[in-house]
């Protein structure tokens, strides 16, 4: 049995998913063209802060919460006509998550290169 490492899975995902820079993500957010979704764990948000105007869906719940019929999506009023832009701490989890959302049928989905670590130095407001 050959088990792929998490690094291998991330490298494979990065070859096929759409990756955008923090600057591109900020521009999309400012133009109201995307749902910016933070998939980090709650502990990470408490420790490092939250990007203003982003949604939080922990990676473990993403597939359940991102469906248009889900209570979370309805409560938060996620606009499924806009691009879904995911980010995590550094870009690995979000790359894998984009691949999963594409498997679910989402077409306008991308992730932010370098994740929160680069975003906080790229003009995003952290609260």
Give the tens place of pLDDT for each residue, 65-75. 999 999 999 99
Q: How many domains does the chain have?
A: 1
Residue 126 lies in a domain: no
Domain containing residue 68 = 18-119
Residue 7 lies in a domain: no
The Cβ of residue 13 has, within 10 Å, a number of other Cβ atoms equal to 22
Q: Strands (DSSP E) along 48-97, which ranges?
A: 55-56, 83-87
Cα of 25 vs its chain's centroid, Å: 10
Q: What is the CATH number of the domain that holds 62?
A: 3.40.250.10
Query: Is 82 in contact with 108 (CB distance < 8 Å)?
Result: yes
Tell me the pLDDT band of 60, cut-offs 50, 70 and 90: very high
Distance (Å, whole) CA 30 – CA 47: 25
Q: Cβ neighbours of residue 12 under 8 Å, at least 6 residues apart?
A: 4
Instruction: Supply the pLDDT for residue 109.
Output: 98
Residue 84 lies in a domain: yes
Give the tens place of pLDDT for each residue, 23-37. 999 999 999 999 999
Residue 11 lies in a domain: no
Residue 12 lies in a domain: no
Tell me, yes or no, if the pTM score tops 0.85. yes
Q: Which helix (H) or strand (E) holds 35?
A: strand 34-38
């Amino acid at each position: 049995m050959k088990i792929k490492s998490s690094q291998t899975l991330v490298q494979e995902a990065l070859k096929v998913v759409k990756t955008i820079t923090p600057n591109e993500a900020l521009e999309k957010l400012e133009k109201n063209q995307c749902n910016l979704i933070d998939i980090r764990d709650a502990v990470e948000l408490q420790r490092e802060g939250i990007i203003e105007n982003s949604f939080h869906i922990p990676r473990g719940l993403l597939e359940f919460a991102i469906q248009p019929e889900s209570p979370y999506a309805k409560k938060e009023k996620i606009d499924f006509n806009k691009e879904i832009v995911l980010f995590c701490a550094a870009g690995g989890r979000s790359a894998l998550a984009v691949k999963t959302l594409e498997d679910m049928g989402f077409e306008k989905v991308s992730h932010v290169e370098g994740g929160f670590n680069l975003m906080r130095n790229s003009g995003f407001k952290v609260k």
